[in-house]
Structure 1
């Protein structure tokens, strides 16, 4: 089947919008402020750790027809389901989805309407919209990719192009941090879009299939759509990082990311800037909430073998997220964040090995790699908790991990895990994987 350009653009736009949440909006300008004349280096490394890892995640999932459970089960059914559920819940209704509504209210509503708009009423309206646009899974990609994303990109383009044509200031020879490239990677790593890729890939692949693509054409179309998404992210990240660099004499290391983007928007666009920023944030958060809610529905329907219906899961997710968005979201994030840090290395190992899924017949590469990454991630996460700050054992563990190659950019686990994967290669598994 011939691949249609329109299909690739629509699906690629949708994937871009699912990745591009409020966090992705506020990270790049801050990197620009910190890096100044080296903003391009910071942007490239940020893009690699964010969009690059996300694209690898999408490609890895095409090897298993978008079935995350099929890939994750190669390290063992129990650990695969456990990591999958933890990842879905943390990036879904426990943190990311309710955060979309809270962020939209704080950055989009409060500066334009004021505190007179009841936050509870707003969360209800927000998640009713999410529910309506998510309840039919086959329509999710078309709604997001054909309608919402173009509007989001137009608003972002207005801000970026005007800021480039009429910069707010000259980029000074002032770099506020050491290791600009490392900082870009660590910031991109912390967006955790690699996890989101594992979740979103299934939605994208199902949408590609619904358009009539099969087998090789389906894989190609999915990968092409992934590249479209990364190109979109590159345009936005590069533009926002440049805008941040033009005001790096106005802000310092202690600049608040949300206030920074609000200030930049107001300086570039004047009074209407608040409204345009509100639209940008609302669309970015809405598209992310739609994608994550749909992914939650797909995942739980799949692992329950249809006992949990997609529509029912989506309804529960939206109701739960609406409640959480009004009650202690920051506290929940503080609880969930260590869980994310604990499982993220294992997820990246799944992605890296998943790229060669059809070539790896010995499941022990997955078993040894994923288990070692998970154990190391859990130990590091526990040692980094505030409650153990100053404890001698925690300091010792943190010191060991800090001395490992890649520690400065958050990849302290790479060398130990690589060693365990190598060990697994030489231990035959009881059951060989058949491609």
Structure 2
């Protein structure tokens, strides 16, 4: 086997481990349950936001220079700082880290014990803090052991459940299963994780001696396809199992209770301990990794003014409180933030990948403004507060008339339109604006002259 091929396979395994956390278990079955006989259409939408975008995110960050700051810097340095901070907070103490703690309680502890969830959170995040403050190779070794074990457990559940389905998938009342799966894919937050830690993949390749950018891109692409294929099989299997549970559970069942029901149906009542231990340990490795990322990020962007230890202590304390509210409540809270951040992240990923084809870097600003504006409107709608709905009802109706809005792409036309407008206006007014030279149009001096 060629060295490049072997290293690409190793990289693909690492990429899969980076994307696949225990939290990813809870969404596909729930999507399948809601989608019923339309689960394949939901899988297609979920495939785009839950698999394709994270892989493209890694490629875009690698091409941009290796950090989320460089990915967003073409919009402006202040935007880069704000966007990077929001993303790190989202995959950190606001959403993803507390969700790991809540998942540990609901899947790993509650089925086996009646202990109060707050005590589980305190113990869980104390262990997280111990490993984060005193980094040790032990947790990395545990992660390398646990990922294969978790995969074997999930693979066994999917195989057993597929060979002996509980019931045929029931007819679904979903109007648009594709859009539902597409938007649910936001909840994995893997795209946000990808654009934060994508630089690790690039650094790994450089460390192995691959300095040619074309070879780096090729190897990362191979690794991405490999990890994406594994994720697709797992997500598809779990979604199918969820679709076959429609006659056995109520639609109101929680996401964590559903995966436990599926496990029991596939492997028997004594299987809960196996899935509980595997999921809990996998959650811990994810929590430790994301907490360390948050600490490193804010220490770096503040020039050391926000100490690493202070950040990780705050993250663990805040997450302890947040995790006690439960997985479903955290997922509900996440929606308004994710519908703002994801369209902007998608624009930045796509534009960085096609950067050589963009004649004017001002196009980045227009695209982000267009996508972000619709995202904010969608966030207000997701809050579902009466006084906000009353004020914004006319705006909601306008957004519904935008092309592809029913598929979750209402932001696409505004992003493209403003991107073209900013590019053309930048070209037209360039000779008359001080500080906006031809160099700005090709992106050489934009970040130093722009007030952003």
Q: TM-score, normalised by structure 2?
A: 0.84
- Per-residue deviation at 1:252? 5.2
Q: 1:173 to 1:320 in 2, by over 3 A?
A: closer
**1:349–1:373 Cα contact (<8 Å) kept:** yes
- More off after superposition, 334-343 vs 19-28: 334-343
Inter-partner Cα distance in structure 2 for 1:203 and 1:138? 18
Q: 1:42 to 1:375 in 2, by over 3 A?
A: closer
Q: 1:250 to 1:266 in 2, by over 3 A?
A: same
- Per-residue deviation at 1:153? 0.7
Picking from 213, 232, 235, the partner of 1:234 is: 232
- Which residue of 2 is the match for residue 338 of structure 1? 336
SS at match of 1:340: helix
Inter-partner Cα distance in structure 1 for 2:133 and 2:373? 37
The one-character-per-residue Cα deviations of 1:332-389 (angstroms, maximum 9, x if unpaired) are 7766642332232212111111112344352201111112322332233235433345
**1:43–1:184 Cα contact (<8 Å) kept:** yes
Superposed CA RMSD in Å reads: 3.2
- Which residue of 1 is the match for residue 206 of structure 2? 209
- Which residue of 2 is the match for residue 87 of structure 1? 87
Picking from 191, 197, 202, the partner of 1:194 is: 191
Inter-partner Cα distance in structure 1 for 2:170 and 2:324? 43
Inter-partner Cα distance in structure 2 for 1:343 and 1:235? 27
- Which residue of 2 is the match for residue 33 of structure 1? 33
**1:18–1:287 Cα contact (<8 Å) kept:** no
**1:14–1:142 Cα contact (<8 Å) kept:** no
Is 1:115 equivalent to 2:114 in the alignment?
Answer: yes
**1:368–1:423 Cα contact (<8 Å) kept:** yes
Inter-partner Cα distance in structure 2 for 1:138 and 1:354? 35
The one-character-per-residue Cα deviations of 1:303-326 (angstroms, maximum 9, x if unpaired) are 234555656644543344334434
**1:134–1:314 Cα contact (<8 Å) kept:** yes
- Which residue of 1 is the match for residue 221 of structure 2? 223
Q: How does 1:30-429 map to 2 (within 5 A)?
A: 30-112=30-112, 114-116=113-115, 119-131=117-129, 134=132, 143=141, 146-169=144-167, 171-172=168-169, 174-216=171-213, 217-251=215-249, 253-305=251-303, 308=306, 313-326=311-324, 337-360=335-358, 362-389=360-387, 391-426=389-424, 427-428=426-427
**1:17–1:144 Cα contact (<8 Å) kept:** no
- More off after superposition, 223-232 vs 313-322: 313-322
SS at match of 2:74: helix
- Per-residue deviation at 1:82? 1.0
Inter-partner Cα distance in structure 2 for 1:141 and 1:222? 25
Query: Tell me, which stretches of 5 or more residues in structure 1 are unaligned?
Result: none
**2:92–2:291 Cα contact (<8 Å) kept:** yes
**2:361–2:443 Cα contact (<8 Å) kept:** yes
- Per-residue deviation at 1:104? 0.8
- Per-residue deviation at 1:418? 0.8
**1:368–1:421 Cα contact (<8 Å) kept:** yes
Query: Tell me, which stretches of 5 or more residues in structure 2 are unaligned?
Result: 431-435, 446-452
- Per-residue deviation at 1:9? 4.0
Aligned residues: 431
- More off after superposition, 139-148 vs 336-345: 139-148
Inter-partner Cα distance in structure 2 for 1:210 and 1:246? 46
The one-character-per-residue Cα deviations of 1:51-80 (angstroms, maximum 9, x if unpaired) are 111111111111123211012121111122
- More off after superposition, 191-200 vs 132-141: 132-141
Q: 1:143 to 1:175 in 2, by over 3 A?
A: same
**2:52–2:228 Cα contact (<8 Å) kept:** yes
**1:105–1:119 Cα contact (<8 Å) kept:** yes
Q: 1:386 to 1:180 in 2, by over 3 A?
A: closer
**2:254–2:328 Cα contact (<8 Å) kept:** no
